[in-house]
Amino acid sequence: MKSVINKHEISFILKEEITNPTYPDFLSDKEVKCVKNFHLSMDEYKVTPLVSLNTLAKKLGVHKIYVKDESYRFGLNAFKALGGTYAIARFLCKKLNIDVKLASFDYFNTPEVKEKIKDMVFATATDGNHGKGVAWAASKLGCKSVVYMPKGSSLTRLKAIQEVGAQAFITNLNYDESVRLVKEKAEKNGWQVIQDTSWEGYEDIPLWITQGYATMADEALEQMHLDGVKRPTHVFLQAGVGASAGSILGYYANVFKDECPIAVIVEPEDAACIYKSALADDGKAHFVTGELNTIMAGLACGEPNPMTWEILRDFAKGYVSCPDYVTARGMRILGNPIGKDEKIISGESGAVGLGLLTLLLEREELKDVKEKLKIDEHSIILCFSTEGDTDPQRYAEIVHDGKYPSTSL
């Protein structure tokens, strides 16, 4: 059973209950700890901040609001390299016939190994952050990378990818079509695709990328424990293909079982493939086609990752399709904190969860949605700001110049 609610141009699907979920073994605590151990072997690895917005939480009437700030990840201003680095490492381990548990990042930089992998070319499609992460990892290993971006991509993001060593191009295709282009080019040229969505015959690398993202979920739990909190009661997770959202939710489902946090999946309205799949209510992934227009470039994906769609299908409570003003609102709130709260620079694809949360807590018209999600004065809410100002001009236009509205009212 589910209910569908439409208010303020925002569409909500709320499930009455979660029944017969399938727990994803590849996101077990044991597997995620192995992933994190690999990341720990990287010189650039540092735990990113978990910011507690205590003043905002008090103002909005909840116990805690935590935001995991991924703008500090590897100096790349976004979380995506967590997946790309681990997937490339796993691929190389398979190629070199070694156990990933015995491999560190430094192992791949030994002269003997570098000679074996020097001619490898890694290819991917991206709006910016994933491609930059793949290019960065490939460059550090002495390998080449080729990156294709969908039409309308930021020239700033293109340049950032090129600066870390990739050949990068903006296509005249949308994101999903760009993925297919990469697949064709790789087959023709002998490149290795590093993509965070799967298709028939291409499952291992997307699975490894998804595992890589779980490091930030594990970090967040450890940081909450240090703050005296056992677990979040709610998580707001933005989704493109759904790999990062599925990674976080799948890991928490394994850790907490029947006490899994109430999860809300948030997407831009013109690229809401997870929402569309939940609306169909047949258990299958459904596609969104067309231009996928949104300022949330990192979420402009029309085809769910089949692997992580099953996690989101089985464990999420809410699915939300929302217009761009919701993320603009979140960016401004995070960038202009109240009281003693810490400032967070959150990009267009990083702030939509926080933006939605504030609307739920402030708008009387959304009170019924808040109640169905069981958000109250005891709630401990976790959001992930998955990128910083990866397009500084766009960030300034939204946060400082007021170019985009932050409310429908």
The overall average pLDDT reported for the chain is 95
pLDDT tens string 151-210? 999 999 999 999 999 999 999 999 999 999 999 999 999 999 999 999 999 999 999 999
Residue 409, pLDDT score: 44
DSSP lists the bridge partners of residue 67 as 51, 383
pLDDT tens string 307-339? 999 999 999 999 999 999 999 999 999 999 999
| 69, 127, 324, 341: the active-site residue | 127
How many residues comprise the chain? 409
Residue 407, pLDDT score: 62
- For 58, other C-beta atoms within 10 Å of its C-beta total 16
- For 309, other C-beta atoms within 10 Å of its C-beta total 27
Examine the residue annotation and report whether 218 is marked as an active-site residue of this protein. no
Kindly list the distances between the CA atom of residue 387 and the CA atoms of 27, 130, 161, in Å, as whole numbers in the listed order: 23, 11, 15
Residue 16, pLDDT score: 87
Nearest CA among 87, 157, 144 for reference residue 300: 157
Q: Which of 110-119, 215-224, 364-373 has the lowest mean pLDDT?
A: 110-119
pTM: 0.97
DSSP for 68-88, written as a single string: EEGGGGGGTTBSTHHHHHHHH
The two structure tokens encoding residue 240: 């493109």
DSSP for 324-393, written as a single string: HHHHHHHHHHHHS--TTPPP----TTTSHHHHHHHHHHH-GGGHHHHHHTT--TT-EEEEEE-BS-SSHH
Q: Return the SS3 of 177.
A: helix
Cα 304 to Cα 274: distance, rounded to the nearest angstrom = 6
Residues 170-181 as b/e (b if ≥16 CB within 10 A, e otherwise) read bbebbbbbbbeb
Residue 408, pLDDT score: 57
Residue 1 has pLDDT above 80, yes or no: no
Cα 375 to Cα 233: distance, rounded to the nearest angstrom = 9
User: What confidence tier does 102 reach under pLDDT thresholds 50, 70, 90?
Assistant: confident
DSSP state of 297: G
**Residues above pLDDT 90, as percent of the chain:** 91
| Angle at 279 (CA atoms; ends 278, 282), nearest 5 degrees | 70
Q: 16 or 146: whose pLDDT is higher?
A: 146
- Which domains does the chain possess? 2-78+212-399 (3.40.50.1100), 81-205 (3.40.50.1100)
Examine the residue annotation and report whether 80 is marked as an active-site residue of this protein. yes
Residue 376 has pLDDT above 70, yes or no: yes
- Show Cβ contacts of residue 8 under 8 Å, excluding neighbours closer than 6 positions: 359, 363, 365, 366, 408, 409
User: What confidence tier does 406 reach under pLDDT thresholds 50, 70, 90?
Assistant: low
DSSP lists the bridge partners of residue 78 as 387
| 64, 68, 80, 144: the active-site residue | 80
pLDDT tens string 334-362? 999 999 999 999 999 999 999 999 999 99
Q: Return the SS3 of 168.
A: strand
Residue 176, pLDDT score: 95
